[in-house]
Structure 1
Amino acid sequence: MAQQSKNRPTSERANLYQQITDRIIAELEAGRVPWVQPWGAAKAGIGMPYNAVSERRYSGVNILTLWDAVISRGYASQAFLTFRQAIALGGSVRKGEHGIAVIYTRRFVPKVERRRANIEGREPSGGIPFLKHFTVFSVEQCDGLPAHICEPPPPIPEGLILPHAEALIEATGADFRIGGPSAFYSPTHDYVQVPRPDDFFDPTNWHRTAFHELGHWAGGASRLNRDQTGAFGSVAYGKEELCAELTGAFVCAALGIVPTVRHADYLGSWLEIIREDNRAILRAASAASKAADYLLAFRPQSAIAANDDDSQPDPDGAMAIEGRIAA
């Protein structure tokens, strides 16, 4: 019995990884890309899901999970909160409502290390990462919440989206070059290149392309230092493309630009990667969140005030031209 109890956390953690992975695979196999939602048919405006109490944005794979809930359940808001938070606000979750499971990471530090760190007067080091999950509800599943909690954020005024995007690109300080027939990031020379905006059928796609390539740039050796050594067509290359794809989608959503998939041919390689490793989508989404936060941190204070904040959540609380990584 003791052995069964000892093994249970590892088994539960593996099951949680697999549940998330299975859901993503099912979406991709159905021809739907979880980070490219059909926002045109959605009641909610494009944006990032956030905690209604702390106003902190959810991150990583939780963005995909909550976007799916917003679209599939027809919510008009991107605001979520826990059962306890609803009660604390004087409201309640309606009887019969089903919540959405989201995850967060914790680290288990053995008692020996905690004791040694206490003796030496330092913070414990190391630790074993593990996943925990908790349940959140849309504010639309609740009654009795304060009015300001239930109000959806105002829509981004038309005409401000593209200027904000251009301002962010400039603020990054990246070596960003416009011209040529293809879009790519060069790790060797540390620059991004995208074609002219008028080379795209829809000028908005130029911005989606730009943030995909800036997702690669954010992972450069002098910044987030991701592995970008994979040759074209390799698993490592596919993982980096998936990370940049998600980064572009997250940044676009934060700026009010509807994200789209860059190239349908990538679906096969993404499915292969995710099927072989049930933690691949979690790793990619986590790395993409870090890259998106890195890029969005360059926004001017005025732009940040006009949108939601970029902090991380607590438990309670496309393209006409295919991008590539150039050597």
Structure 2
Amino acid sequence: MQSIKDTYQRITDSIVEQLEAGTKPWIRPWRGSVRHSRIPRRATGEAYRGINVLMLWVSGQMFGYEENTWMTYRQAQDLGGQVRKGEKGTLVVKYGTFTPKEREDDEDRSIPFLKGYTVFNVEQIENLPDRFASPAEELPSVPVPHMETVEDFVRNTNARVSYSGTKACYRPSSDDILMPGRDRFDSQVHLYSTLLHELSHWSGAKHRLDRDLSGRFGTECYAVEELVALS
């Protein structure tokens, strides 16, 4: 059985990885909120608890999921679904106790355990029953118009910008900017302030202004980089 210490380390590594990938829950001036429930739920509808809530919140925002129901690979198969090839699951944990019986005269004693396992968001799974699908979100009927001055400025930087999903971030590993779809923004101000914020992070790459982008969430250099992007 995997030790509790190893499982805690997996939890820590997973959260840090997701935070370092650019998840910023305080910068979200666009539509695309979680449907049905803010609290992540199992296939049965039961709510997750404890550290699992944080794990699934961060993962959900990192990958732009709008549904908040999660299940194991086996549960998906039992429901007639299939996890899409190449999809990456999210670590959650199960707490419990067990009573070892090594000898006949052993007294009952409970030993706690912590077991990690992988779940997938329903948006990663095909052919699930209809009850796991939500009606399409109503988005603004008129897309936010282009502000040509800003568009020209961004275009002249040669930054690679993609509009899709519900996430905004600069990814140092692929040197590109992810933006939510244009139809998710309510105004030019929100769209272009978000784009220029991420462009500020883009400017800090090693082959540009060479700022330190390696800081973990909560560290001084991470805070300094956010102040640069906000200034």
Higher relative contact order (CA 8 A, sep 6+): 1
Q: TM-score, normalised by structure 1?
A: 0.36
Q: TM-score, normalised by structure 2?
A: 0.49
Which structure has the highest helix share of the two?
Answer: 1
